[in-house]
A and B are shown apart, each in its own frame.
Chain A
Amino acid sequence: MADELLPTGGFAERHIGTDVEAQSVMLEALGYDSVDDLVGAAVPASIHVDGFRSAAETALPPAATEREALAELRMLARKNSVNRSMIGLGYYDTITPAVIKRNVLENPSWYTAYTPYQPEISQGRLEALINFQTMITDLTGLHTANASMLDEGTAVVEGMMLARRASKLDPRVFIVDADTLPQTRALLQNRADAVGIHLVELPLAETAPADLPEAFGIFVQYPSASGRVWNPASIIAAAKEKGALAVVAADLLALTLIASPGELGADVAVGSSQRFGVPMGFGGPHAGYMSVRAGLERQLPGRLVGVSQDAAGHPAYRLSLQVREQHIRRDKATSNICTAQVLLAVMASMYAVYHGPQGLRQIATRTTRLARVLARAATEAGHTIMSANYFDTLTLHTKTDAARLVERAHGAGYLFHLTDDDHVQLSVDETTTMDDIRAVARILGEDLADESVPVEIDEWIPAGLLRESDYLSHPVFNTHRSETAMMRYLKHLADYDYALDRGMIPLGSCTMKLNAATEMEAVSWPEFANIHPFAPEADVEGYLELIEQLQRWLADVTGYDSVSLQPNAGSQGELAGLLAIRGYHLSRGDTQRNVCLIPSSAHGTNAASAVLAGMRVVVVATSELGNVDLDDLRAKIELHADELAALMITYPSTHGVYEHEVGAICKAVHDAGGQVYVDGANLNALLGFARFGDFGGDVSHLNLHKTFCIPHGGGGPGVGPVAAKSHLAAFLPGHPLAQREFRPVEASSFAELVEASDPVTTPTHRNIVSAAPYGSPSILPISWAYVRMMGADGLKQATGAAVLAANYVAVRLREHYPVLYSGDNGLVAHECILDLRPLTESTGVTVDDVAKRLIDYGFHAPTMSFPVAGTLMVEPTESEDLAEIDRFIEAMIAIRAEADAVKAGTWTLDDNPLHNAPHTAQSVIEGEWTHSYSREQAVYPVRSLIRSKYWPPVRRIDNAFGDRNLVCACPPPEAFE
């Protein structure tokens, strides 16, 4: 075919904001002839070969157009079969109200926002999250809930770790009910093993309180994995009497009918909010949850939204108690979790807002009634129901061979869960219809004879378990019943927030690039959205093909041999990578290798993850230039030579610099028998120019929500695949219910390695880090489409454009704000740190003042005080065009002039546009204007804002007030009057 007949318009030129013309302007400012010259000068020669690899060497197919990529995704989707899932086990089909799907899931105002670190421009999603927290505390009957967890299984693990921190007892024994979800059991086992906790599994419903061993905690699944509803109050009381903390995983829908964990004595409740309108998506993403009784707030992992007040005394939301988290407390943090599942938590909370308490109760009541009609039919067909009390799930002792029954059901379009040779499990959900019940009755052996409702709710609920307490009584859950009201509420909240659909979010280390509409297309297709994570392999051929391709592509661009997509966040990828290193050392009999070297400049998550992998953190000094101090590294290696497990290093560094000595650093670690973990958080500065695996990395995690375009969703979902060299491949995450194990070519060594390793590390749950086998598959089509549409050349161009943009910002702003660190030839990587400390010193204007003043100029602030206090880290990404980058630069220059005016005495230090920023509309309209600068200077410092102004809804928020007066649930409406 002639070139002239090929489709026009590649995707790369849509994704990359700067065209050739703009790039030549930027290159001129930097004094380079081409982007390749610039990157060539910035990246140390030791890690990249000129021209890198030839085009023929890549495993990536040539770039597809947007239309072609969608057509291929359609083909993959068609290879999945959407059967009616009755598998249950923590994942249920649900009806996503279309008003929520269209206005949240498919709305860039929600999905392109970042974690609400700048609360003044994030009040919309903070309100949605506080609705979520209120929903969770109400339904679980506990005091404080966080803003969501990664999934239910890992939330149970976090509950165990919380119990260990809070209990004063021997931190080694944790009791687990035998009737617990299989994926949760596998996770508990793997994670407990790494930190030296011994699990005692007991059938708690049949265990006498006196027989409980001494333990720091006890875990109960409620209702049980098998569907049984029983009253755990007395066993919980007995365990607590001995000093244990009680962790209960509860089903939110069931809690509308049965007593809450809080009422049963639980200290901690965990679970999933998936069935509140979030599609199963072959396992995720969904929002897990955690709530705790009063007194345990400071032990909570993850994000917590609280109410504070702004400078005008109005209520305002913000993230509370941030010092619990890993970025502050490092190896002493409550958890390594950085992110939440904000977008999914927002969806689940809106499901409760839309249905309200009565609506949820109706859904639950109908669900349990259908389960009862089905149970009667099953009994009439000769099967035995294993438990008299159940909510939505029946375990049947089958009359005939259970496996054949499951097969027959599959043939008829229904998925049952095969428990063993004689038992199957069936779950009913919101989407189940009477037609389904009739069809399932036929599969079970008899036509449905009786369609009446067998018993009323309170007749089956065991003594003491009928829910009598109120829930969701706040007006927000009782107002938005019509679709019009719901649509407007969602729009109203979205309008409060600043997301990528308004302008640039130059957050350093966050890579806020374009999340293209075509990439997002497939997420809500039923063939990707409505698949149960434990569906049979034959139903998920399309998914497995997509996963295998993406794994291959990611391995190819990073220079590794094997990739696991299971980790649900970068932090979980880190943990998976470190557990792989641990498994490797153990398999070689090197049980003493448990020291993890971490540079002082590293992200706090590194240290927190190392602790959870059972390692001991030893900090390596950072030189004045921000690089790893090689002498100190060598000294620490020598000191810990026999115990050295790993070095964790971020490349390019957290300081946004291509560290010159990275080759030497990796070699020193390898020579001492250690493994090199390269944190891939900054991969966006390297892709196409160098590969971790080529310059010494043994294992890395990647952030698909940074480099590979998965949207940040306002603070989650994330996807943090772990990639490794072949010698570590056998220790990457497995899953007891995985449809397929993906192994690299070297798989032959797998059996030997496992055999040689610690007996607990069996292949079935080896190093599992997420509840679902492939993590959050429903958003993988996003990264798949990105790579497919960029091709190797496009990815390389994107990196070049990102590095060019960062260096352009650095060179233009250098005379106004010093650039703190740079590498070879004075260049930065894909981000630059502007040092505001000299400005603060000379003018009194702080980094907070500048960040908040940027809001008045219509910008989201860069990353504040990370990795260095008193600085701003700017990452423009490749997706911003020159006009937007220049608008940002000019705003920063104008703010510098304002600061100089403060210094000159034009304005006083406590009354100037910086100190008082951000300015709300109310603040410049109401009352007499008494400030020494004009209203126009306050809100329209540049003329272009007059027609396109983003108005923050609140003024600067008082952080201390919120932390001293902790309130984490919806305030009454009067508070806003």
Chain B
Amino acid sequence: MADEQTVQYTAEHEWVLVDGDIATVGITSYAADKLGDVVFVDLPTVGSTVATGKVVGEIESTKSVGELFAPVDGEVTEINEAVVENPELVNTDPFGEGWLVKVRFTELPPLLTRDEYTVLVGE
């Protein structure tokens, strides 16, 4: 489970947990609430190369669709198969069981702190 206070954030409402050269990525509870009941997630294939800011997947709810952006340059090392099977995990546990992808990166771009993200969403 990622600690909401210590993980980093993007302006695209994603959280990034850095462990060595691996970034675990999910969407924030704010984003999950805005989307509503998530019914489908489309994630990149393991081994694919991703680039910062590029769309790598989609998160579909009953009423909306959100795009998943890569927060870092790198290679996808793992995707959360459990969330593909049970997309509602994105709603019930966005910072834990609802994580989406892991990416091996070489360089970390500037990300937002908890405080900066809180200001961004106005909460």
The chain A residues found within 8 Å of chain B, CB to CB, are 298, 322-323, 328-329, 865, 959-960, 963-964
Contacts and interface: CB of A to CB of B under 8 A. Distances in A.
B65 A960 contact: no
Contact of B62 (A298, A323, A329): A323
Interface in B42-75: 60-65
Contacts of A329: 65
Contacts, number: 31
A868 B116 CA distance: 28
Contacts of A960: 37, 39, 61-62, 88
Given A323-B63, A329-B65, A963 B88 contact: no
A604 B87 CA distance: 26
B64 A328 contact: yes
B65 A328 contact: yes
Majority secondary structure of chain A interface residues (helix, strand, loop or mixed): helix
Interface of B: 37, 39-40, 60-65, 87-88
A298 B58 CA distance: 12
A329 B88 CA distance: 21
A328 B61 CA distance: 11
Contacts of B39: 960, 963-964
Contacts of A328: 63-65
B62 A322 contact: yes
A959 B64 CA distance: 12
Find the residue from A865, A959, A960 having the highest chain B CB count within 10 A.
A960
B88 A323 contact: no
Contacts of A959: 37, 62-63
A37 B61 CA distance: 46
Contacts of B61: 323, 960
B12 to A, nearest CB: 16
Contacts of B60: 323, 963
A329 B37 CA distance: 17
Nearest to A963: B39
Contacts of A323: 60-65
Given A323-B64, A328-B65, A960-B61, 9 more contacts: A298-B40, A322-B62, A323-B62, A328-B63, A959-B37, A960-B39, A960-B88, A963-B37, A963-B40
A964 B91 CA distance: 13
B87 A964 contact: yes
Contact of A322 (B63, B87, B88): B63
A959 B65 CA distance: 15
30 contacts: A298-B40, A322-B62, A322-B63, A323-B60, A323-B61, A323-B62, A323-B63, A323-B64, A323-B65, A328-B63, A328-B64, A328-B65, A329-B65, A865-B63, A959-B37, A959-B62, A959-B63, A960-B37, A960-B39, A960-B61, A960-B62, A960-B88, A963-B37, A963-B39, A963-B40, A963-B60, A963-B62, A964-B39, A964-B40, A964-B87
Contacts of B63: 322-323, 328, 865, 959
A322 B87 CA distance: 17
A328 B60 CA distance: 11
B33 to A, nearest CB: 13
Nearest to A959: B62
A960 B87 CA distance: 10
Find the residue from B37, B62, B88 having the highest chain A CB count within 10 A.
B62
Nearest to B85: A964
Nearest to B38: A960
Contacts of A964: 39-40, 87-88
List 8 tightest A-B contacts by C-beta distance, closest first: A960-B37, A963-B39, A959-B62, A323-B65, A964-B39, A323-B60, A960-B62, A963-B62
A959 B63 CA distance: 9
Contacts of A322: 62-63
Contacts of B88: 960, 964
A114 B113 CA distance: 49
Nearest to B61: A323
Contacts of B65: 323, 328-329
Contacts of B37: 959-960, 963
A490 to B, nearest CB: 31
A964 B61 CA distance: 10
A868 B46 CA distance: 38
A592 B65 CA distance: 32
A865 B62 CA distance: 13
A742 B39 CA distance: 49
A865 B61 CA distance: 15
Nearest to A960: B37
A256 to B, nearest CB: 35
B55 to A, nearest CB: 10
A865 B36 CA distance: 14
Contacts of B87: 964
Find the residue from A298, A865, A959, A963 having the highest chain B CB count within 10 A.
A963
Nearest to B67: A332
A329 B42 CA distance: 15
B116 to A, nearest CB: 25
A960 B91 CA distance: 12
B18 to A, nearest CB: 31
A681 to B, nearest CB: 21
B92 to A, nearest CB: 12
A815 B62 CA distance: 32
A960 B37 CA distance: 6
A865 B88 CA distance: 23
A960 B92 CA distance: 13
A329 B61 CA distance: 12
A960 to B, nearest CB: 4
A321 to B, nearest CB: 8
A329 B40 CA distance: 15
Nearest to A964: B39
Find the residue from B39, B40, B87 having the highest chain A CB count within 10 A.
B39
A960 B60 CA distance: 10
Nearest to B39: A963
A328 B64 CA distance: 6
B1 to A, nearest CB: 23
Nearest to B66: A323
A623 B60 CA distance: 28
A963 B39 CA distance: 6
A959 B60 CA distance: 13
B123 to A, nearest CB: 14
B115 to A, nearest CB: 25
Nearest to B65: A323
A615 to B, nearest CB: 21
B64 to A, nearest CB: 6
B88 to A, nearest CB: 7
Find the residue from A328, A329, A865, A964 having the highest chain B CB count within 10 A.
A964
A1 B40 CA distance: 71
A329 B66 CA distance: 10
Contacts of A865: 63
A959 B40 CA distance: 13
A712 B99 CA distance: 44
Contacts of A963: 37, 39-40, 60, 62
A865 B63 CA distance: 10
A964 B36 CA distance: 13
A297 to B, nearest CB: 10
A852 to B, nearest CB: 15
A308 to B, nearest CB: 10
Nearest to B91: A960
Nearest to B42: A298
